[in-house]
Amino acid sequence: MNRRERLLRALTHKDGPVPMDFGGTAVTGIHVSVVAALREHYGLERRPVKVIEPYQMLGEVDDELKDALGVDTTGIYGRTTLFGFALEQWKEWQAPWGQTVLVPGQFNVTVKGKDVYIYPEGDTSVPPSGHLPEGGYFFDTIIRQPPIDEERLNPDDNTEEFGPVSPEALAHFAREANKAAASGRGVIANFGGTAFGDIALVPGPFLKHPKGIRDIAEWYVTTAIRQDYVHAMFQKQIAAALLNLEKIHAVVGDKVDAVFLCGTDFGTQSGQFCSTVAFDELWLPYYKKMNDWIRRHTTWKTFKHSCGAVEPFMEHFIKAGFDIINPVQCSATGMDPRALKEKYGDRLVFWGGGIDTQKILPFGTPAQVREQVLERCAILSTQGGFVFNAIHNVQARTPVANGVAMVEAVREFNGQRA
């Protein structure tokens, strides 16, 4: 059984070795500092690691490291980053924590004191859209919302980024799909334009002059008091998304196994951002249209990311047509992995949940990491439907010994099942 077959068995709820994903998406990645530490541990060539997602400073998990870790997936990222510049023309940059990394050519920053500021499309003539504070390891979004005039609010201002997919992007996806298919690993892609109200995207860190409702708190208020505005946005976005998906599928075909559609979070650590009634009214119709189109025209499985206590939404995610849920935040209220598996495991694939990244992975011992990984694998992999990943990205300052203990425990589990 090759690596892609491992993933496909899991995605179709069939027993088999547990597949592992690290680096396939922007929510299943590894901080660039930990990537470098893992490369050193496994005796790989010492060289600056590429930052493939600068917002969270995620490092490239290249084929060498995937082989060392036993990763079964490869990811297709968009042509441009969350800050709007292309992943090309790499150059060295000294990160504040002392690591030399490779960043895209238009990764342009300024430094004030010990704080670092990054700019949309690398244009330092406009206000910065991201801020890496002193002592930090990734960027925070800078809110640049103009004053709101209720009489002049225009939903088009919040959808300027959702237009036709460009010829350059289509060519990029075609190249990356061919490359990914040749790797022998399962393929997950993020084509963009399919996330409705994703709070990482609402502020428009890729836009030089964002218009509309771009403040995070104001956006959440808008979903409650300006629902006609939200529907107008989503209607325009779904129309563009369906046209774009048709064009993208024409160039990538069935080389893609799963597609990351949406990173909108509906859960907090102990509750939800909205009711399930509000979800059904505002989000479900648009998710369902998109998932229905994908199911009719492709073989792709659809991937929904939502942090937090989202157990009350699970039936609604299923009704919306999602096949996969991530990151399975088992530390949140109501997210007991055994209960989730028993109730939803035959209808949802759990992509994540393999190790707690708030306490155990960064602050526990290797023995504690091993114990939790083995337990989670035993619970979540019954009758397939489980792709191992941590609960969201592996963060900076995670001890390399714990990272190694994590992947070795997955190998141990799969060996026990052989």
Among residues of the chain, what percentage have pLDDT more than 70? 100
- Exposed e or buried b for every residue in 268-294, given b needs 16+ CB within 10 A? eeeebbbeeebbeebbbebbebbbebb
Domain membership of residue 260 (yes or no) is yes
Domain membership of residue 211 (yes or no) is yes
Mean pLDDT of the chain: 97
Question: Residue 416: its pLDDT value, please?
Answer: 75
- Residue found under tokens 């648009």: 286
What are the pLDDT digits (tens) for 314-347? 999 999 999 999 999 999 999 999 999 999 999 9
CATH of the domain at 227: 3.20.20.210
Domain membership of residue 149 (yes or no) is yes
Question: Residue 417: its pLDDT value, please?
Answer: 64
Among residues of the chain, what percentage have pLDDT more than 90? 99
Question: Residue 13: its pLDDT value, please?
Answer: 98
Domain membership of residue 140 (yes or no) is no
What are the pLDDT digits (tens) for 184-209? 999 999 999 999 999 999 999 999 99
What are the pLDDT digits (tens) for 261-313? 999 999 999 999 999 999 999 999 999 999 999 999 999 999 999 999 999 99
Query: Smallest Cα–Cα separation from 245: which of 163, 161, 165?
Result: 165
One-letter amino acid for residue 349 of the chain: V
Strands 91-94 and 115-118: unpaired
Domain membership of residue 326 (yes or no) is yes
Helices (H), 226-334: 227-252, 276-282, 284-297, 314-320
What are the pLDDT digits (tens) for 79-96? 999 999 999 999 999 999
Provide the 10 A C-beta neighbour count for residue 110.
Answer: 11
Domain membership of residue 347 (yes or no) is yes
134 pLDDT more than 60: yes
**Residues found in the chain:** 418
Question: Residue 1: its pLDDT value, please?
Answer: 85
The 3-state DSSP class for residue 146 equals: coil
Query: Which DSSP state fits 121?
Result: G
3 pLDDT more than 70: yes
The 3-state DSSP class for residue 189 equals: strand
What is the number of domains present in the chain? 1
Question: Residue 392: its pLDDT value, please?
Answer: 96
What are the pLDDT digits (tens) for 9-37? 999 999 999 999 999 999 999 999 999 99
Question: Residue 293: its pLDDT value, please?
Answer: 98
418 pLDDT more than 60: no
Alpha-carbon gap, residue 191 to 22, rounded angstroms: 18
Average pLDDT over residues 1-5: 94
Q: 93 has which bridge partners?
A: 101
pTM: predicted TM-score of the whole model, two decimal places: 0.97
What are the pLDDT digits (tens) for 359-406? 999 999 999 999 999 999 999 999 999 999 999 999 999 999 999 999
Domain membership of residue 106 (yes or no) is no
* CB 191 within 8 Å of CB 248: yes
- Exposed e or buried b for every residue in 144-163, given b needs 16+ CB within 10 A? bbeeeeeeeeebebbbeebe
Parent domain of 294? 3-30+73-80+145-417
Domain membership of residue 268 (yes or no) is yes
Alpha-carbon gap, residue 223 to 278, rounded angstroms: 8
DSSP for 31-83, written as a single string: BHHHHHHHHHHTT----PPBEEETTTTEEP--HHHHHHHT--EEEE--SB-TT
Alpha-carbon gap, residue 96 to 383, rounded angstroms: 45
What are the pLDDT digits (tens) for 33-62? 999 999 999 999 999 999 999 999 999 999
